[in-house]
Amino acid sequence: MGHSVRSISTRMSTLPNAAFSISLDCQLDNVPGTLGRLCGAIGEAGGNIGALDGFDVRGPVLRRSLVVHCRNEEHQHAIVAAVQKLDGVTVLDWWDRTFRMHEAGKIEVISTAPVNDRDDLSMAYTPGVARICTAIEKDPLLSHKYTIRKNTVAIVSNGTAVLGLGDIGPEGAMPVMEGKALLFKEFGGVNGFPICINARTADEVVDFVQRIAPTFGGINLEDIKAPECFEIEERLRASLDIPVFHDDQHGTAVVTLAALWNSLKITGKKMEDLTVVIAGVGAAGVAIGKILLNAGIGDVIGCDRVGAIYTVRGDMNSAKEWFAANTNSSRKMGTISDVMKGADVFVGVSGPDLITAADVRSMAKNPIVFAMANPNPEIRPEQVDGLAAVMATGRSDYPNQINNVLAFPGIFRGALDAQATDITENMKLAAAKAIADSVSDDELTEDNIMPSVFDRSVSMAVAAAVAKAAIADGVSRLS
C-alpha cells in the first residue's frame, strides 16, 4: 500500500513524474466502457498514465494493472480515492513504485568464483587461499590484483549534506549511496560499496576511511558538508595511496566544464575572455571555480548568501578565503544581481528561484546560463526563453542536463584501470574533454550540449582519457 513519509513534494516539479508514480492493481467489470471510465477518472484527477498492462479476463470481471505518474504523495492518495469511487472498479492493491524499487536495497553481493566441488573449495578458501594471503603479505600491492580492490570503490558519507535534503544522518543518506553504487556498476562496471558512517567531525571521517582503505581501490566521498569536506579530502589524498574523489566537488566541476566547452562552440566566445558568476560557494562552487581557472577562464566571481566573494571580506571559511584570493580580480561587490551585470556565464549550485529574467537580460550578449540546483533550479528555462543563448539545468525533464553520472563512473573506471594512486587536475580536465567530445559537431545545438546520461560509450571514453592522463602525470602504478 502507500507509504506515509516526510513529504518533499514542495521542492519537486508540479507536473506528474515518475518519482511519485504509483501502480494500481484493479478489478474491472467486463463490460464496455469500464476501462474508459477508469482512465478518464485518473486524467480528471490530474494523473498521467504511464503504462497499461495486459488483461487477465476472469469471466464477468477482468484484472488490469496501471502505472500512474503523480505530482506528490497527496496527489497519489487523491488519485486512488478517485478510482475507488468508480462503480464497476475495485482497487485490489496499490503501491508507491519508488518505495517498491528501494525495498531491501538496490544492490547485492554476488560471487565470481565457482564452488561446485572440493577442488573449487580448496582453491577459493582453505587451504589454497593461504597462498594468496602470504603472497600479498610479502607484496601488499598484489592486493590490487588478487582481491576486490582491483575494481571496488568505497562510497563514504556521513549524511550531513544530502542533495536537496541537507543533514539527514547516515541512515537517511543510505538510499542515495546505494543509488551511487548502482550507477557505478551500470555505467562504469565498477563495484561501489555504500558506507554511511556515524561521524560528524573531519577527524572521525578521516580516521575511519584510513582504517578501511586496505579493502578498496578508491574512495568516493559523498554528501559531506562544507567546509569539513575540503579538509577531509585533502587529508585523505595526502595519507592514502589510492584515489580519493569528492564527487559533489569534482564530478560537478567536470560536467560543468564539459558543458561550458560545448556552449562556447555555439556562442563563439573564448574561454580566456569569459567572466563567470558562480552562485553558491560551497563544495561544488569552489571546485567549479578551480577547474575553470585551470581551464584558462578569464575571471570568476563567486556569490554566497552574503554577496560577492572578495579579498578582505569577513566571515569566510578557509575554502572561501582561497576562492577570494584566486578570483574576482576586479573586486566586484554587492548582490548576485549586481555582479551578473555584463557577465558571460551564470553557474548556479545554490537554491531555487535565486535569479530573475531581468538578471539574465543584464548579462553580456549571448549569455550562457547553467541553473543546476536540484530539484528546482535557480531560474527555470521557460523564464529565459529567448534571453539565454544556452540554458542548462541539472534536471532530466529539460534539455541539456548537466549530471555527474557522466563523470564519476568513467573517472573511477579509468583510475582503477591505470592503478592510479591519485586523481589529478589533468585527469579531471581529460574527463571533461571526453564528455564534451562525446557530442559531435553535427549533433551540437543550443538544446543539445551534453551527451545522454544513458549513453554507455561516454563512460568508456572518459575512462580511456583518464587512464591516459594518469600515466602521463606519473600517478599510475603501470607507468
Q: What does the block give as the cell for 140?
A: 601488499
In b/e form, how buried is each residue of 250-285, taking b as 16+ CB within 10 angstroms? bbbbbbbbbbbbbbbebbebeeeebbbbbbbbbbbb
Write out pLDDT tens, residues 397-428.
899 999 999 999 999 999 999 999 999 999 99
List 85, 106, 125, 138, catalytic entry:
125
Q: Is 146 a catalytic residue?
A: no
pLDDT interval class at 81 (50, 70, 90) = very high
Write out pLDDT tens, residues 429-454.
999 999 999 999 999 999 999 999 99
Q: Which percentage of the chain shows pLDDT scores above 70?
A: 97
- Please say whether the beta carbons of 255 and 450 come within 8 A: yes
Give the pLDDT score at 305.
Answer: 93
End-to-end CA distance of the chain: 56
- Please say whether the beta carbons of 183 and 251 come within 8 A: no
pLDDT at 182 over 90: yes
- Please say whether the beta carbons of 196 and 174 come within 8 A: yes
Q: Is 310 a catalytic residue?
A: no
Give the pLDDT score at 8.
Answer: 38
List 146, 150, 180, 433, catalytic entry:
180
Give the pLDDT score at 133.
Answer: 97
pLDDT at 10 over 50: no
